[in-house]
């Protein structure tokens, strides 16, 4: 019997790395539309999302967001949350950073398994991993009793050192070589994750991560999301259509 050599892999943070903005807020919008959370909870999430998109998140922001999400889910049936998938994907897929997704699929084509690793819920991580044809997703878990969420966490928070530890455990289970692996993130909070692999990559980095990336000579990726490109394309198309109408009017006069 011969030993199988460890494989390299690629690990992708979700919020502001693989997608623009906050997946938690996208989930809140979907849940609010289905009547699973209140308008007040949704309004609080909207303000947090604005701050997150403008300047990223602090540890305190992230902890507070986790608590809000957990509390808002207390008593919600798991099946009802899972049925939000179409609404959630409708909000998340236009925010994909297509350039980053292309990088992920290039790793996969080169024989490296690819994973979403996120502080967001395990359910969101698994949903997107399935739809985007990743090899797996790792997220934070919520406690479930009698088919409904209790509003309490279950297991470690996949954030900061917790995210790096989750990757180390995944690597041990799957026989992955972390020194040969890649990790992608936007945030200083993911320095433990980036430091756990041999090839860290900063994606649209916040100021703190940008400083570290420059000092360490890490690769930096700048990416835009699909929704913004679609909006820009629609604007160009509208301007072109307007110009055509004007030109027709000029020709007729």
Tokens of 16: 């502001």
pLDDT of residue 4: 53
Mean pLDDT of 55-72: 65
CA angle 164, 167, 170 (to 5 degrees): 155
Packing angle of the helix pair 59-73, 39-55 (nearest 10 deg)? 160
Average the pLDDT over each of 8-12, 66-70, 136-140 and give the range with the smallest value: 66-70
Assigned token pair, 93: 């897929």
Task: Give the mean pLDDT of 148-160.
Answer: 92
pLDDT tens for each residue of 91-132? 999 999 999 999 999 999 999 999 999 999 999 999 999 999
Sheet holding 136-145, edge to edge: 148-154, 136-145, 114-121, 10-12, 182-185, 199-203, 219-221
pLDDT of residue 25: 84
Q: Does residue 226 have a pLDDT over 60?
A: no
**pTM for the full predicted model:** 0.80
Q: What is the residue extent of each domain of the chain?
A: 10-222, 225-253
Q: Which residues are catalytic?
A: 13, 15
Residue-level pLDDT at 110: 97
At CA 205, angle to CA 43 and CA 187, rounded to 5? 60
Q: What is the mean pLDDT of residues 184-198?
A: 97
Q: What average pLDDT is seen over the chain?
A: 83
List of residues 6+ apart from 129 with CB closer than 8 A? 115, 116, 135, 136, 137
pLDDT above 50 for 50: no
Give yes or no for residue 66 having a pLDDT over 80: no
Q: How confident is the model at residue 213 (pLDDT cuts 50, 70, 90)?
A: very high
Instruction: Identify the CATH number of the domain defined by range 10-222.
Output: 3.40.50.1000
Q: What is the mean pLDDT of residues 45-58?
A: 45
Which three-class secondary structure state does DSSP give residue 165?
helix
* Highest mean pLDDT out of 17-31, 77-91, 226-240: 77-91
What is the reported pLDDT for 41?
54
């Amino acid at each position: 019997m011969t030993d199988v050599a460890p494989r390299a892999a690629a690990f992708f943070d979700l919020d502001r790395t693989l997608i623009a903005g906050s997946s938690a807020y996208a989930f809140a919008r979907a849940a609010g539309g289905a009547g699973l959370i209140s308008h007040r909870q949704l309004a609080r999430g909207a303000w947090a999302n604005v701050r997150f998109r403008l300047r990223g998140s602090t540890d305190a922001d992230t902890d507070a967001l986790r608590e809000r999400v957990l509390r808002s889910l207390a008593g919600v049936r798991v099946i009802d949350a899972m049925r939000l998938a179409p609404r959630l994907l409708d909000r998340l897929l236009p925010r994909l950073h297509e350039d980053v997704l292309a990088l992920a699929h290039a790793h996969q084509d080169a024989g490296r398994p690819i994973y979403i690793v996120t502080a967001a819920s395990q359910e969101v991580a698994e949903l997107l991993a399935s739809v985007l044809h990743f090899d797996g997703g790792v997220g934070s878990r919520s406690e479930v009793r009698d088919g409904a969420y209790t509003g309490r966490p279950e297991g470690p928070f996949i954030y900061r050192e917790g995210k790096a530890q989750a990757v180390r455990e995944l690597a041990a289970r799957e026989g992955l070589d972390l020194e040969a692996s890649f990790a992608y993130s936007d945030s200083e909070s993911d320095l433990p994750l980036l430091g756990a692999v041999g090839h860290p990559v900063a994606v649209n980095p916040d100021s703190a991560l940008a400083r570290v990336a420059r000092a360490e000579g890490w690769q930096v990726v700048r990416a835009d999301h699909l929704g913004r490109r679609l909006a820009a394309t629609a604007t160009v198309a509208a301007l072109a259509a307007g110009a055509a109408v004007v030109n027709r009017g000029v020709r007729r006069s």
